[in-house]
Amino acid sequence: MHDSRMTTLARSLVRYSCQVQADDNVLVEATDIPDEMVALLVREIREAGARPFVTLKHNRVLRELYACGTTESLELTGLFERARMENMQAYIGLRGTLNLAELSDVPPAQMALYQKHWLKPVHMEVRVPKTRWVVLRWPSPSMAQQAGKSTDAFEDFYFDVCNLDYGRMSRAMDPLVELMERTDRVRLIGPGTDLRFSIRGLPAIKCDGRMNIPDGEIFTAPVRDSVNGTIRYNTASLYQGTRFEDLAFTFKDGKIVEAVGKPADRLAQILDSDEGARYVGEFAIGVNPFITAPMLDTLFDEKIAGSIHFTPGNAYDECDNGNRSAVHWDLVLIQTEAMGGGELWFDDVLVRKDGRFVLDALQGLNPENLKS
């Protein structure tokens, strides 16, 4: 990897994403990450006048801790990691993996123990609500393989995506946020898709590189019972360890009343997991100009320029349409010409056609204007 690209990323994470201030305590939690990148972050944090703290983790070791953990051991781990997190003003989580399936054979009951006693008290109760935080993946040969790219080509793609000028993207998002917050009726049209719903009264929130890298989406939620029609997703999804494809849902008054896709039995299990799983908790528009093709990684695929995602399951607190579920399944429909095209309408006005914004106020979000 080239030092300059890593330096640029480290500076962006510290100064833009986490807005690190003098005298902040900043925790860097790095899992299977090159020491060089961690050292660059330590340097950037010090240059910002803050205090760096570092924990290095490895997925093979975590797998053993999760698999053999007891209530007592996981509770104690959660207790001391929580005490540390409560003293932090900022958190940078870098998550790499040498094997995407490393945790696949940890028994579900053991993962549930970890989530209850370690993940929830440290991250859900302290880190997310009380620190300035950012989380990102790290490129690896296993991710490159999943994306169908060589290791070098994937690293080039990764740094293009992650070193985008997110401040510029954020400013370009503002007119779309304002438009969405004035909008009542949304219509999606495309091959196998004709879907209508309302977003009236729900906020539009821009994801502009503050909390996740890569980033590049504006999300809201449909009025829960307003969704009618059919959506046919054209992107495969890896969810709960299973690959899904050829998914299409038909909605009546907000509820999925017909679902087709492969594998059909697993699809039915997820949608029947609770009442809220058949209702939608998020509608979002992807705008990252460097992400143009799916790679079976939701964090990347949901940001594809010219895409939307329409998400069965739980709504976010920031944009709450009242839907509650253990499921939150980001399913992507790409509307670029190469993927079959499609149209996005707000209150009977065409907003985006074949993945490109057509309104003058939104031209800044088209890929050539975000890249240049």
Q: What is the distance between the alpha carbons of residues 219 and 196, in angstroms, rounded to a whole number?
A: 17
Q: Give the per-residue pLDDT at 271.
A: 95
Judgement on whether residues 289 and 172 belong to the same structural domain of the protein:
yes
Picking from 162, 181, 199, the residue at the C-terminal end of a domain is: 162
Judgement on whether residues 189 and 297 belong to the same structural domain of the protein:
yes
Alpha carbon separation from 64 to 61, 69, 85, 103, 123 (Å, rounded): 5, 8, 23, 9, 20
Among candidate residues 94, 102, 91, 100, the one with its CA nearest the CA of residue 33: 94
Enclosing domain of residue 170: 166-371
When computed from its CA atoms, the radius of gyration of the chain, rounded to whole angstroms, is 21
Picking from 138, 162, 186, the residue at the C-terminal end of a domain is: 162
- The CA-to-CA distance between both ends of the chain, in Å, stands at 23
CB atoms within 10 A of CB 228: 15
Among candidate residues 372, 170, 371, the one with its CA nearest the CA of residue 289: 371
Judgement on whether residues 277 and 148 belong to the same structural domain of the protein:
no
pLDDT tens string 31-54: 999 999 999 999 999 999 999 999
Among candidate residues 272, 279, 306, the one with its CA nearest the CA of residue 292: 306
Beta strands in 270-348 (DSSP E): 280-286, 307-312, 332-334, 343-346
Q: Which residues of the chain have pLDDT under 70?
A: 1-2, 372
Q: Give the per-residue pLDDT at 1.
A: 54
164: tokens are 């985008």
- Check which CATH number belongs to the domain holding 65 and give it: 3.40.1830.10
Judgement on whether residues 232 and 364 belong to the same structural domain of the protein:
yes
Judgement on whether residues 334 and 245 belong to the same structural domain of the protein:
yes
Judgement on whether residues 132 and 180 belong to the same structural domain of the protein:
no
Per the structure, how many domains does the chain have? 2
Q: What is the distance between the alpha carbons of residues 91 and 331, in angstroms, rounded to a whole number?
A: 28
What SS3 state is found at 58?
coil
Judgement on whether residues 136 and 231 belong to the same structural domain of the protein:
no
Judgement on whether residues 173 and 116 belong to the same structural domain of the protein:
no
